[in-house]
């Protein structure tokens, strides 16, 4: 059901020899880093859209009742807003564990909200991973998110915290906000 990507990610050598690197977070990493970082800056990446199309069997759900968490899908012309962290390479090991359910490290260009850009890293759960759930109606996604719960807590909290963090950053995400509206309307 899940696909442990830890070993694959630890074989990536792109940032070997660097004292630090930039990591882009677009889901829980926006508001809940859970790791030490050297710097934190609002940023976005281009050509990707955030979608709740990744099943969560290990954090916001269980194998019997998987939740849904964010991944990125290619979307020409789109911009996905989030948070960039400058980290040391040793931070990657615990991140590989945290993102092990199908997420792979991908090198990307980060654009900082206050100007400038830098090469960085993002974890993306692609369509070919075993936990990729794919598109569902907003109604079906909201129902699943409303009831799923895992070791990291209620799936609904993940969605609500993400929506609040995006508002705090001043960025609109129609997919996230539509799911949030459906979730709250059903309560």
Which one is catalytic: 97, 99, 109, 127?
A: 99
Q: Is 39 a catalytic site residue?
A: no
Taking the C-alpha atoms of residue 146 and residue 122, their distance in angstroms, rounded to an integer, is 27
Alpha helices (runs of H) in the chain, residue ranges in sequence order: 6-10, 92-98, 138-147, 155-169, 174-186
DSSP-derived pairing of the beta strands 103-112 and 149-150: unpaired
CATH fit for domain 6-182, picks 3.40.50.2300, 3.40.50.261, 3.10.490.10, 3.40.50.1220: 3.10.490.10
Q: Chain-centre distance of CA 73, in angstroms?
A: 11
| pLDDT tens-digit series, residues 6-46 | 888 888 888 888 999 999 999 999 999 999 999 999 999 99
Total residue count of the chain as it appears in this document? 187
Q: What residue has token string 């993002």?
A: 122
| pLDDT tens-digit series, residues 98-144 | 999 999 999 999 999 999 999 999 999 999 999 999 999 999 999 99
In this prediction the pTM is 0.94
């Amino acid at each position: 059901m899940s696909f442990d990507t830890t070993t694959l990610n630890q074989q990536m050598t792109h940032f070997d020899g660097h004292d630090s690197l930039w990591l882009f977070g677009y889901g829980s990493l926006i508001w809940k880093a859970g790791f030490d970082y050297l710097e934190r800056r609002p940023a976005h990446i281009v050509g990707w859209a955030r979608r709740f199309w990744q099943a969560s069997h290990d954090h916001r759900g269980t194998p019997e009742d998987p939740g849904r968490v964010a991944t990125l899908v290619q979307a020409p012309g789109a911009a996905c807003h989030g948070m960039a962290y400058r980290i040391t390479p040793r931070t990657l090991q615990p991140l590989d564990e945290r993102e092990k359910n199908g997420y792979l490290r991908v090198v990307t260009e980060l654009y900082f909200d206050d100007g400038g850009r830098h090469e960085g890293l993002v974890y993306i759960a692609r369509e070919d991973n075993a936990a990729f759930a794919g598109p569902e109606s907003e109604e079906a996604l909201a129902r699943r998110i409303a009831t799923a719960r895992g070791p990291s807590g209620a799936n609904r909290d993940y969605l609500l915290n993400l929506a609040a963090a995006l508002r705090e950053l001043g960025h609109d995400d129609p997919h996230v906000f539509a799911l949030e509206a459906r979730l709250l309307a059903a309560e």
